[in-house]
Amino acid sequence: MSAAPVFIAPYAAADRQGVLDLICAIQREEFGLPITAADQPDLLDVPGFYVRGCGAFWVAGACGEVIGSIALLDIGGGQGALRKLFVRQDWRGAAITAGGQPGGGVAAALLRTLLGHAAASGLRDIFLGTTTKFLAAHRFYEKHGFERMEKSALPESFPVMAVDTVFFRKRL
C-alpha cells in the first residue's frame, strides 16, 4: 500500500474490470470460495442491477486502481441490502481521510458513504448476508452498529446468496 490518496466515487463503466478482478480474487484466493464472475451477473451489469431506486454502487480507488467496493441494493419497503463490500488486502486497516473526515480505513469510508446515501434516501433498514469464513467482516459490521439476526427474520425481498449463512441488520 502506498501513501497515495484514496477516493470513493460512484461506479463508472471504466471500473468494471477492476471491480471484477478485486472481488473475484478475494473470493477465490483468500477465502477459497468457488465463485467466478459468471456466477455474479450483478457485477456484469452493475448499473442495471444496483443503480435503481435508492440503490448505488461505489468504488474506492488509489493509484489508478480499484482497491475497494460496496453496493446498496434497494429491496423495497424502505429497506436495502448491503452487498459487495470488498477491500484489497494491502489496503485493509489503512487509515485514510475520506471527504475531509479523518479516521477509519477504506472499508469504514465505503460504509459511511453507503449509510449516508441510504439515510438521505429515506431507507430505514440495511440488511446483509455473509459467510462464516469472513470473521473479520463480522467484527467490522458489529463495530459499526449491525446486529446479527436469523435468516428466517429477513424480509422476503432480501436476495440470499448461496454462500450466505450469517446475517446482519442495521436500523437507520
> Average pLDDT in the 72-93 region?
94
Produce one character per residue of 112-131: b if its CB has 16 or more CB atoms within 10 Å, e if not.
Answer: bbbbebbeebebebbbbbbb
Tell me the average pLDDT across 14-41: 92
Residue 17 belongs to some domain of the structure? yes
Whether 131 has a pLDDT exceeding 90, the answer reads no
pLDDT of residue 66: 97
Determine the pLDDT at residue 100: 43
Q: Which long-range contacts (CB under 8 A, 24 or more apart) does 144-149 make?
A: 144/108, 144/111, 144/170, 145/170, 146/170
Contact 66, 22 (CB under 8 A): yes
In a domain, 1, yes or no: no
Q: What is the mean pLDDT of residues 18-36?
A: 91
Supply the range of the domain harboring residue 118: 7-126
Please provide the average confidence, as pLDDT, over all residues in the chain. Answer: 91
CATH number of the domain within which 88 lies: 3.40.630.30
Pairing relationship of beta strands 79-87 and 125-130 according to DSSP bridges: parallel
CB 20 within 8 A of CB 36: no
The C-alpha cell that represents 92 in the structure block: 485493509
Residue at 136 is within a domain: no
pLDDT tier, 98 (very low <50, low <70, confident <90, very high otherwise) = very low
pLDDT(102) > 70:
no
Q: Note whether residue 166 is domain-resident.
A: no
Cell of 78: 424502505
pLDDT digits (tens, 9 = 90+) for 150-164: 999 999 999 998 889
Number of domains in the chain: 1
- And the C-alpha cell for 117? 446515501
pTM of the predicted model, to two decimals? 0.91
Residue 154 lies in a domain: no
Contact between 85 and 171 under an 8 Å Cβ cutoff? The reply is no
